[in-house]
Amino acid sequence: MYNLVKKIFHPNLLVIYFIVAFAVLLFALVTSFPYIKGDALQTKHYPLKINRTLAQENLTSNLLPAFKFNKYYIELKERAEVELFIIPDSKNIKVEVIGAEGIGISIDSNKLIQSGLKIMKPKRPRNNISKREALIESMVFRTKAMFDLRKIENKAQTINAIDYKIYKIPVEAVLPGSYTIKATVDGGRICTANILTRPQFRADFINPSTVECGGERIISVSGKGLNTLTQIKIEGTDINVKNIDVSEENIAKVKLLASSNIEPGFRDVIVSSPLLGITETLVGALEVKCSAFATESLPVTQGPQGLQGEKGEAGSPGMGICENTQDGLMVFVNNLPSGSQSSVFFDPVLCNLTFGIPVGFNGVNGSNGTNGTNGINGADGMSVCTDMTSTLSISSVTLSPGSIATSNFDPDACTLVLGLPQGNKGDTGATGVAGTNGVNSLVKITTESTGANCTTGGKKVESGLDSNNNGTLDVIEVTSSNYVCNGAIGDTGANGVNGLISLVKVSDEPDGNNCKKGGTKVESGLDLNNNNVLDSNEVTSTSYVCGK
């Protein structure tokens, strides 16, 4: 035993043991480092004040799960994250789109559910996905997804607090609409939220937001999806839109003319897209100001000339606005970019006054000039054909691959025949990806009792796709039900003609061919003449019972 222990703990072997243990420890650290890094970078631990905020918002475990907002607004073609509050020990979240409604443009609700809002799968923080995985991910359109919170990619989407945690569900808006999503946590509690995907057309604000009575003003309407087809109107009829310039992206410059007798106040700015059928209204965005006040002239009576007053005392010397009262004021003007605020700067030492005046916007293009008179008709041109009234007919013929193209012109027939070589046969394309196996269609036939579906009973025929491939048409797989009913009971038929009586005649049979030792002859048939006697012409069957 001592020798065995001595061999195991030999100094050389201890060094080998240490090297192996160190290598195993180093391998474990290297392989787990990306996961540790992913959690450290993307998981946030909130302090105790989060617990107080939770209490203030009355979010207890009895109210979870719950979305942070009842309604979310997401831009089209953009990805966003929907925050879901869940209890700390939650393990699985199932998210699905359960409803959709079109906005602005007419799209079927089923199409919106299937291809309007995409639920994304988070990427693993350890390695970049391959091109094949990226291609598959771009082709898959998920309307429902299951998130296992124990996986590293889902941990990176989780924010841990004290009494709850938040999972950020990644989604992408594809079509404009109003969507309802449902989240089921651990197969039990559920909650819903509404996601409104903003269309690619909207108006956000205007600048400047005022116009003077009886004056002209150029305002800029900022938004998204504004183009040359965009229509802009002002509430009422006393402010005319003279011109709309959309030379800058998502900015429409509108020239307005307000009438002189307009009432001051706030007006709505209405922006619409005839192409998308969408109208946006900026409520009270434009203010009408009237700074001039009218004064009434009162009658004045001229009084008599007054007496000359006494000469006043000499005034004190005046003060200059510059430090050196002997200097003359110099005024300068600088041009500023269009739309900027005007400025003024005074330098008392140099005695300079500088005005910053914004350059005005480009004026409206003038109307087109009157068209000039038509010129004198030119002389008739020369025709390529012998008959100048003929029309050239062009046709083509196919030549063998590799030959030279030809052309044959016949001026008398006025035809041009082009010989076009056929191209070489292209290489065979790569084999396409095999499609997924289809689902079998099943039919189930059962007896239908007398009732509302069949008044005289019949058969019930159900059909559908075998979604779970168990070979049986389950109730949830039935997509069509039809009934094959029995016909109605017919009227009672007329009484039939009385049947004929069947007679049997028994007689002795002497020795002979039928019975070598004699026996009994049995004859049978129908009594055709109803005389209760089996006549010879009525016999249809004859048999013999012979003696032994």
| Confidence (pLDDT) at 49 | 39
List phi, psi (to 5°) of 270: -110, 120
Strand order in the sheet with 278-289: 210-212, 278-289, 265-273, 231-234
With cut-offs at 50, 70 and 90, classify the pLDDT of residue 44: very low
| Confidence (pLDDT) at 46 | 39
Compute the distance between CA of residue 527 and CA of residue 538 in angstroms, rounded to an integer.
7
Compute the distance between CA of residue 538 and CA of residue 532 in angstroms, rounded to an integer.
11
| Confidence (pLDDT) at 48 | 37
**Is 2.60.40.10 the CATH number for 204-289?**
yes
Mean pLDDT of 387-404: 81
| Confidence (pLDDT) at 340 | 67
| Confidence (pLDDT) at 10 | 67
The CATH class, in words, for 49-198 is mainly beta
With cut-offs at 50, 70 and 90, classify the pLDDT of residue 124: confident
| Confidence (pLDDT) at 99 | 92
* Token duo for residue 468: 């779970």
| Confidence (pLDDT) at 300 | 45
> If we measure between CA atoms, which residue out of 175, 182, 170, 178 comes closest to residue 195?
178
Mean pLDDT of 354-361: 71
DSSP letter at 225 equals S
| Confidence (pLDDT) at 47 | 38
Peptide bond into 510 cis (omega under 30): no
Q: What is the pLDDT of residues 432-447, one digit of tens each?
A: 888 777 788 888 889 9
Q: Which residue has the higher pLDDT, 83 or 379?
A: 83
Q: Which residue has the higher pLDDT, 547 or 247?
A: 247
With cut-offs at 50, 70 and 90, classify the pLDDT of residue 42: very low
| Confidence (pLDDT) at 154 | 86
Mean pLDDT of 291-297: 46
Query: DSSP alpha helices (H): ranges in 43-161?
Result: 49-57, 109-115, 131-139, 152-155
DSSP letter at 477 equals G
| Confidence (pLDDT) at 379 | 58
Q: What is the pLDDT of residues 190-226, one digit of tens each?
A: 999 999 887 667 788 898 888 889 888 999 999 887 8
- Residue 37 predicted with pLDDT over 70: no
What residue ranges do the domains of the chain occupy? 2-41, 49-198, 204-289, 328-361, 441-485, 502-546
Compute the distance between CA of residue 222 and CA of residue 252 in angstroms, rounded to an integer.
7
Mean pLDDT of 65-89: 88
With cut-offs at 50, 70 and 90, classify the pLDDT of residue 530: confident
| Confidence (pLDDT) at 323 | 64
With cut-offs at 50, 70 and 90, classify the pLDDT of residue 85: very high
With cut-offs at 50, 70 and 90, classify the pLDDT of residue 384: low
- Residue 499 predicted with pLDDT over 50: yes
- Residue 108 predicted with pLDDT over 50: yes
**Cβ partners under 8 Å of residue 227, min gap 6:** 246, 273
Per cent of the chain over pLDDT 90 is 13
Mean pLDDT of 174-178: 84
With cut-offs at 50, 70 and 90, classify the pLDDT of residue 23: confident
Beta strand 502-509 with 478-485: parallel, antiparallel or unpaired?
A: unpaired
- Residue 56 predicted with pLDDT over 50: no
Compute the distance between CA of residue 125 and CA of residue 132 in angstroms, rounded to an integer.
18
